[in-house]
Structure 1
Amino acid sequence: MSLKTIAAKVFANIIYNKTQNWVQNPIETQQKVFEKLIREAKNTHFGIDHNFNQISTFDDFANAVPVRDYEAIKPYVDRVVKGEANVLWKGKPLYFAKTSGTTSGAKYIPLTADSMPFHIEAARNAILHYIHETGKADFVNGKMIFLQGSPILEEKNGIHLGRLSGIVAHFVPKYLQKNRMPTWETNCIEDWETKVNAIVEETFNENMTVISGIPSWVQMYFEKLQEKGLKPVGEIFKNFNLFIYGGVNYEPYRAKFENLIGRKVDSIELFPASEGFFAYQDSQKEKGMLLLLNSGIFYEFIKVEEFSSQNPKRYTIGEVEMGINYVLIISTNAGLWAYNIGDTVQFTCLKPYRVIVSGRIKHFISAFGEHVIGKEVESALQEAIIGTSIRINEFTVAPQITPNAGLPYHEWFIEFENEPENLTAFEESINTAMRKQNVYYDDLIVGKVLRRLVISKVVKNGFQDYMKSIGKLGGQNKIPRLSNDRTIVDLLAIEQINE
């Protein structure tokens, strides 16, 4: 056992015990976070506008600060972007994480000196919890890669900005820099396909032990490795045994990944976003990710079915229940207040508080009142492929409201790696699983409002071609699992016709 391995195990035990201090006192921990946030921001422009000096309880806060999305908080953000200090948080941000906006163009999410360390510590602690639980630490002696955006940063009024993954690349601990792949020069390549090809060349003969990234883009890396080596990734990288991912559910990709790798590997799920690092998988045995209650983020939760009402109830951590779909609302030490990040979560455990990401509040299908969410379509697909040889590269779902004939239906656009022998039977399997997942969908089928779902096959690399066509190939970009309109799938269909 190397000194590095021994040190990793000792450090893992220290961090695990430190984490348990707040895990065992979740409500008290969140109250302390809340009080500190209000105290630190009471003299900011936002704090003055919302009477933070008069806020002493959560009810005071909920009455003074409405839930906002980016569009609603944008007037404050614009002032920060122009260089004004003490607007949303004390001083100025260290960075802006630049992301794509829905209606306002680019979004600038502030990252402050107070918030940035938690992004780094959370990713580190996820690995350390894995070491503590499993005792596996030899991977620290090998090479590690995180498929991420370019670390080249722009500057706007004295504040650097870029993709979150590119910003984080500037904070790799010194003790990991010798293990880190790819090289800085390769990481700076903007074109995703060119970058992946370069990463393949750089890593092919290395002792890769940890690989991380969004599954859909890691899959592209694995496919190119397999093409070059003419053998499974697990034979190319014999010591590769840990896959770290976030951004999308891994389950739809698992069968394909195990085929590409040639064996099973352990995995760790992360829940990071530009707005904060919210949770990570702290156990290989338990379902869900540990919600980080001591990371400068105060959480609120609104039931999805109540979210659009005039004055929905805002729940704190001590009031949540398991199995309910909540919209996640955050207030942070980066200056986001009662902010709707757009994700929905469900609690899988309350001691400690663990969550799964169930979808996006804007990514759903309810064209007929069915309220289908991302978790349901992913679970239904996973149930349908269990015990089969079917492997899927990517998929998305949309309603077909005006078919040429017959009743409306949900249309599943699937790019198969290994197709079912009987597509009709596979459709029926998914449909049956969906009816079990969602009672509203079942009622619509029984009531003959909808007919059984229909699968449309997407050509090889069809989703990659679509993402490339809209300038979102690679990095942190991902295909929505479902949409309430046909904007995405109509473009997929056009690409198929053109071919």
Structure 2
Amino acid sequence: MAFQIINSIISWFLKKRKHQIELFLKYPKDVQEELLLRLLHTAKNTKFGKEQSFSSIKNYSDFTKKVPIQKYETFEPLIERCRKGEQNLFWPTHIKWFAKSSGTTNAKSKYIPVTDEALEYCHMKAGKDMLCLYINNNPKTQLFTGKGLRLGGSSEVYKDNDSYFGDLSAIITENLPFWADFSSAPSMEVALMAEWETKMEAIIDETINENITSLVGVPSWMLVLLNRVLEKTGKDNILEVWPNLEVYFHGGVNFNPYREQYKKLIPNPNFKYYETYNASEGFFAIQDRNNSKELLLMLDYGIFYEFIDMKNYDGENSKTIPLSEVKLDKDYAIIITTNGGLWRYLIGDTVRFTSLNPYRIKITGRTKHYINVFGEELNIENVEDALKLACDKTNATITDYTVGPIFMQDKKSGGHEWIVEFKKAPENLPYFTELLDNALKSINSDYEAKRYKNMTLGLPKIHNVEKGLFYSWLKKKNKLGGQHKVPRLSNSREFVDELLFLKKS
């Protein structure tokens, strides 16, 4: 009875936010324009604000002329000074938190400033909105009669001078409101354990006898946890362990390659999947409808959005447009200006708008994660769609993969080399390869043109590698857990060669 009362009270509290969401749905242009001017006014007396003449900026046109587009590398000197204790450089309030983010396996670590404003009005607000939207769509939910299992990254926080850095999930865990901590598992002590494999076992020990009603985490790592739960309990599926489980909130990587595996692990046709789109730089979008593959762009988190048409992409020299000028079904790179002190910051993600009223998006990839060695312009969306088709037709399932180029030599054509770890391999790998190739041709006309008579691109070369190879590779690089991701597509052979070497050793 007590849990039912708690469920009702928390649900009522979270539902109230829906009215504020409806405001930016109705007036998106006004909300974004007012937000930009407010951010500029707030930071006009910072070092960056004075250098870029924030006080003289009256509109979006002024903003684009006076403030250059920033990549992390161009903004890093100011961030490093801030980490060493200098303040009022690019945001007026004291900054002590920095989210350490490396993205893919080889990237240099980035330290993204997390201001108190970004923490409260972006990341924390988004966490509540995620629940708000789910509860409004599912009024009979029993979410808060149990606990949500959260699976964060390497969650130890480190001190450096007068600042702190760590995985974003660690920073959020350190700052959770009491009610969120009360309704979550594992305990903070376990959630903040640094060593990934030890933490995994501790999470399982602490939660297998709890009433878990929701899951929160990155699909690839949550899958590892859930399979380990079944190994430890001897159960056939996750609902035998947690019968009241009703929703999985996921983000960080494309869910499509994992969807069928989750359906087998959680065999309930009414089970809900809710996707989120967040990063160390901010929280951007949330699935706002049941059974949807679109995400609602959240416009009142202290983030002003700009976009670059990928057909005209030229990095920091690109021409940008505001949200009010985007079109449907075009790929855009995202530029953000935030209450975390980032100004016209290129985050490296690409999205496509599926609706303009309200603004809903699909994540289509990364500005750097594509293969275009031969003019084939193959992006992550092309690859994932083709993989799904080949897997469906061969009853195969994939755990992980990466793709790199085979460069032309002498008169030999080039190609794409695939390292694929199957959970269930196809009986006939050449047939799977043929299906994948044909699907890519049908999806991407540039790829099809380069494949013509094998003149530029030959048939894909696929290695079916042993189970656990990608896990071993990530472990060797100390990249287990959390937001660490396997790079899917690359214009270099670095990842492919490393995995092939590890396979032989």
TM class, shorter-length: over 0.9
Other-structure match for 1:281: 287
Other-structure match for 2:63: 61
Other-structure match for 1:350: 356
After superposition, what is the alpha-carbon deviation per residue over 1:3-22, rounded to whole angstroms, capped at 9, x for unaligned? 23323443343222220111
Other-structure match for 1:212: 216
Other-structure match for 1:87: 89
Q: 2:260 aligns with which of 255, 260, 265?
A: 255
Question: Is this contact kept in 1: 2:14–2:128, CA < 8 A?
Answer: no
SS in 2 for 1:300: strand
**Change over 3 Å in CA distance of 1:397–1:19 after alignment to 2:** same
* 1:441 matches 2:443: no
Comparing 320-329 with 259-268, greater Cα deviation is found at 259-268
Deviation at 1:406, TM superposition (A): 5.0
Comparing 3-12 with 208-217, greater Cα deviation is found at 3-12
Other-structure match for 1:306: 312
1:306-345 equivalence runs, <5 A? 306-308=312-314, 311-345=317-351
**Change over 3 Å in CA distance of 1:403–1:217 after alignment to 2:** farther
Comparing 243-252 with 260-269, greater Cα deviation is found at 260-269
Q: How many residues align?
A: 498
SS in 1 for 2:439: helix
Other-structure match for 2:167: 163
Comparing 203-212 with 35-44, greater Cα deviation is found at 203-212
**Change over 3 Å in CA distance of 1:60–1:454 after alignment to 2:** same
2:435 maps to amino acid: S
* 1:107 matches 2:110: yes
1:31-430 equivalence runs, <5 A? 31-100=33-102, 105-117=108-120, 118-231=122-235, 232-264=237-269, 265-308=271-314, 311-386=317-392, 388-402=394-408, 407-430=413-436
Question: Is this contact kept in 1: 2:71–2:345, CA < 8 A?
Answer: yes
Q: Supply the distance in 2 between the matched residues of 1:93 and 1:211 (Cα, whole angstroms).
A: 31
Q: Supply the distance in 2 between the matched residues of 1:309 and 1:123 (Cα, whole angstroms).
A: 31
Question: Is this contact kept in 2: 1:370–1:441, CA < 8 A?
Answer: yes
The runs of 5 or more residues in structure 2 that have no matched partner are none
Q: Supply the distance in 1 between the matched residues of 2:232 and 2:317 (Cα, whole angstroms).
A: 57
**Change over 3 Å in CA distance of 1:452–1:186 after alignment to 2:** same
Deviation at 1:136, TM superposition (A): 3.9
Comparing 118-127 with 130-139, greater Cα deviation is found at 130-139
Comparing 130-139 with 357-366, greater Cα deviation is found at 130-139
SS in 1 for 2:65: helix
Q: Supply the distance in 1 between the matched residues of 2:129 and 2:316 (Cα, whole angstroms).
A: 40
Q: Supply the distance in 1 between the matched residues of 2:358 and 2:21 (Cα, whole angstroms).
A: 11
Question: Is this contact kept in 2: 1:149–1:163, CA < 8 A?
Answer: yes
Deviation at 1:237, TM superposition (A): 1.3
Other-structure match for 1:10: 12
Q: Supply the distance in 1 between the matched residues of 2:304 and 2:112 (Cα, whole angstroms).
A: 17
* 1:452 matches 2:459: yes
Cα RMSD of the aligned pairs, angstroms, is 2.0
SS in 2 for 1:97: strand
* 1:478 matches 2:478: no
Q: Supply the distance in 2 between the matched residues of 1:129 and 1:403 (Cα, whole angstroms).
A: 54
The runs of 5 or more residues in structure 1 that have no matched partner are none
**Change over 3 Å in CA distance of 1:310–1:252 after alignment to 2:** closer
Q: Normalised by the size of structure 2, how large is the TM-score? A: 0.94
1:64 maps to amino acid: K
Deviation at 1:461, TM superposition (A): 0.8
Q: Supply the distance in 1 between the matched residues of 2:209 and 2:276 (Cα, whole angstroms).
A: 28
Q: Supply the distance in 1 between the matched residues of 2:7 and 2:411 (Cα, whole angstroms).
A: 64
Question: Is this contact kept in 2: 1:256–1:417, CA < 8 A?
Answer: no
**Change over 3 Å in CA distance of 1:101–1:183 after alignment to 2:** closer
Question: Is this contact kept in 1: 2:70–2:316, CA < 8 A?
Answer: no
Q: Supply the distance in 1 between the matched residues of 2:194 and 2:175 (Cα, whole angstroms).
A: 20
Deviation at 1:150, TM superposition (A): 4.3
**Change over 3 Å in CA distance of 1:104–1:415 after alignment to 2:** closer
Q: Supply the distance in 1 between the matched residues of 2:176 and 2:53 (Cα, whole angstroms).
A: 39
Q: Supply the distance in 2 between the matched residues of 1:309 and 1:480 (Cα, whole angstroms).
A: 20
Question: Is this contact kept in 2: 1:84–1:92, CA < 8 A?
Answer: no
**Change over 3 Å in CA distance of 1:46–1:151 after alignment to 2:** same
Question: Is this contact kept in 2: 1:89–1:335, CA < 8 A?
Answer: yes
Question: Is this contact kept in 2: 1:8–1:137, CA < 8 A?
Answer: no
1:258 maps to amino acid: K
**Change over 3 Å in CA distance of 1:256–1:406 after alignment to 2:** farther
Deviation at 1:91, TM superposition (A): 2.8
SS in 2 for 1:227: helix
2:463 maps to amino acid: S
Question: Is this contact kept in 2: 1:279–1:289, CA < 8 A?
Answer: yes
* 1:462 matches 2:469: yes
**Change over 3 Å in CA distance of 1:191–1:135 after alignment to 2:** same
Q: Supply the distance in 2 between the matched residues of 1:330 and 1:454 (Cα, whole angstroms).
A: 38
Comparing 11-20 with 454-463, greater Cα deviation is found at 11-20
